[in-house]
Amino acid sequence: MRIPNSFVTRFTQAADLKLACVFYSLIHKNTKRNLLGYEITVKQTTLVSLCGFSVSTVKRAASSLLKSGFIKSQKRQTNAPGKLGTYTYTIEAVSTASKYFTMDKKLISRLNGNEFRVYAMCCKLADSSHKSFFQSYNDLSQLLGMSRQDVLRTIEKLVKGKFIRKKKIRTRAGDFTDNTYTVCIYVHHSRIKKASRRSSRRQSIHCFTMNTPIKNTSSLYNKKSGLSIGFKKKIRLSEIFFLKRGSG
């Protein structure tokens, strides 16, 4: 999803930033637009799920965004007498044609508080090709409005969670320069490569010793000679050689 660069510095509260990003993740080509901005109809339970917040935190963040002017209007539909339906939010339209960064919306609910703010800043600073950047803790502290210690602690959490990678680069003088960070691509379900199954038919004869018994109904295949023999009884390797070469 595309997030405007201005969001990272505009919303200093993590809950406000996360909810604003969630709203922009719901925008698509068929989203209605009026003079005030985008119209998004969404259930509060959906916002809770996408943000990883409680209902009260979503309400508090929505109220904060309404005061700041990001949410232009907030209306709730009435489905039946006494029953309230979904909310329709009109949010500010910020261009994502340029000056934007990308983020996988699946990870929004996995990062809490300052972790999300720091990760969003990393996504903003990262270049488009290698997803990497170099920055000092002091610079990050100044950009985020956080203490250096909080930035350091949060970076270590993101590195441990494998959301970003950190690499120290040594100069020719022998000292270290600013850390280089790489934003990791988030994968919702890790894929494990399945090891290729080698059938016992493909095992070469020389991998058995002379005293290795062969189980019932097993079959061996020697790729070099093209020998394929089925066994119904336990026999030893010496008998295989006898069948292959004959009496000579």
- For the stretch 121-172, pLDDT in tens is 999 999 887 888 888 888 999 999 999 999 999 999 999 998 999 887 766 6
Which of 1.10.600.10, 1.10.10.10, 3.40.50.720, 2.160.10.10 is the CATH number of 2-101?
A: 1.10.10.10
Gap between the Cα atoms of 76 and 42, Å rounded: 10
In this predicted model, what pLDDT tens digit does every residue of 2-52 receive, in sequence order? 899 999 999 999 999 999 999 999 998 889 999 999 999 999 899 999 999
Q: Is the CB of residue 113 less than 8 Å from the CB of residue 11? A: no
Instruction: Using CA atoms of 7, 13, 16, 18 in order, give the dihedral in degrees to the nearest 10.
Output: 70
Q: What pLDDT shows up at residue 171?
A: 66
Angle at 194 between CA 191 and CA 200, to 5 degrees: 175
The token pair at 151 is 């930035």
Q: What pLDDT shows up at residue 186?
A: 59
Task: Indicate the domain borders of the chain.
Answer: 2-101, 111-183, 200-245
The token pair at 63 is 């109220």
Which are the contacts of 116, defined by CB distance < 8 A and separation ≥ 6? 14, 17, 18, 108
Which of 2.40.30.130, 1.10.10.10, 1.10.620.20, 1.20.120.80 is the CATH number of 111-183?
A: 1.10.10.10
In this predicted model, what pLDDT tens digit does every residue of 80-107 receive, in sequence order? 676 777 899 999 999 888 889 988 888 8
* Confidence band, pLDDT 50/70/90 cuts, at residue 230: very low
Q: What pLDDT shows up at residue 121?
A: 93
Closest CA to 20 of 55, 64, 54: 64
Q: Is the CB of residue 90 less than 8 Å from the CB of residue 38? A: yes
pLDDT for residue 218 is more than 90: no
pLDDT for residue 206 is more than 70: no
Domains 2-101 and 111-183 share a fold: yes
